[in-house]
């Protein structure tokens, strides 16, 4: 019997926050290739509209830290398209002024928490409002490998926010398991995205300090993370919920790194 993976997400409606670039855009392309209709939600109208056009989906402008705008996004998509099957809550930031706890000031801390953690709370709640009555749905929240171990190159608010995403995803996965909704946390290792490139271009030494700990000897490509998200969104992962789904090239399990 042949299995057509291009139909694995056929007719499902997916919302991807931060879907205009990086892991979000790679996932939008993967979802569309597997048959889903993708709604890209982002703060960048130009890139968001271009990304949506490329995948044959729709674009919605949203500030993920704004409760009213998040509710309008999810309620509007459900009303327009009749369902929400997948929520990939992926939007996040990693600004330069989020560094060591000794130098990171409260405004930087608050901004990162708003975008990286509060947004996942708001988006998960808005998605559950539609998934629970339907008795089905998959929520994937982007955490990080730094939710599982301490980072050698500190970004204190980022790390704390991703730890919160992981803990919240576990709890939601447990709470809603018998209501047909699965919730998982994606924990990527360092990924070759514009965000990482910009950060490490300013500090090549920091890039090498990260890279040396990855047993595979390279950063992940966005498409590799997209494949993992598509798996978690699909029925192939029907018995997986409340998990920390690690895609990190082995970094969280490496005591020593191969030369």
φ/ψ of residue 64, rounded to 5: -70, -10
**100/128 Cα distance (integer angstroms):** 35
Helix (H, G, I), strand (E, B) or coil at 98: coil
User: Does the active-site annotation cover 158?
Assistant: yes
How far separated are the first and last CA of the chain, in Å rounded? 43
Q: Supply the DSSP string of 92-109, one letter for each residue.
A: ----TT---TTT--HHHH
- Quote the CA–CA distance of 28 and 16 in Å, as a whole number: 7
Task: Give the integer Cα–Cα distance in Å for 249 and 165.
Answer: 21
Q: Please identify which of the residues 158, 176, 219, 231 carries the catalytic annotation.
A: 158
Host H or E run for residue 223 = helix 222-233
Kindly list the catalytic residues. 158
């Amino acid at each position: 019997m042949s299995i057509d993976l291009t139909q694995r997400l056929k007719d499902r409606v997916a919302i991807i926050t931060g879907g205009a670039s990086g892991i979000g855009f790679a996932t939008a392309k993967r979802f569309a290739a597997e048959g889903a209709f993708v709604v890209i939600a982002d703060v960048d109208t130009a890139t968001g509209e271009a990304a949506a056009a490329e995948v044959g989906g729709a674009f919605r402008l949203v500030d993920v830290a704004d409760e009213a705008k998040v509710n309008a996004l999810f309620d509007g998509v459900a009303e327009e398209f009749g369902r929400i099957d997948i929520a990939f809550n992926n939007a996040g930031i990693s600004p330069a002024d989020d560094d060591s706890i000794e130098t990171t000031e409260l405004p930087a801390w608050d901004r990162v928490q708003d975008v990286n953690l509060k947004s996942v709370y708001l988006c998960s709640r808005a998605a559950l409002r539609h998934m629970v009555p339907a008795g089905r749905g998959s929520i994937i929240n982007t955490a990080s490998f730094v939710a599982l171990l301490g980072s050698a190159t500190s970004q204190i608010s980022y790390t704390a926010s991703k730890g919160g995403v992981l803990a919240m995803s576990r709890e939601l996965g447990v709470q809603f398991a018998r209501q047909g909704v699965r919730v998982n946390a994606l924990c990527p290792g360092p990924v070759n995205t514009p965000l990482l490139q910009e950060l490490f271009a300013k500090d090549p030494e920091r890039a090498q300090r990260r890279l040396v700990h990855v047993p595979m000897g390279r950063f992940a490509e966005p498409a590799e993370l997209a494949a993992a998200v598509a798996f978690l969104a699909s029925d192939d992962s029907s018995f997986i919920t409340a998990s920390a789904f690690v895609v990190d090239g082995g970094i969280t399990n490496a005591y020593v790194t191969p030369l």
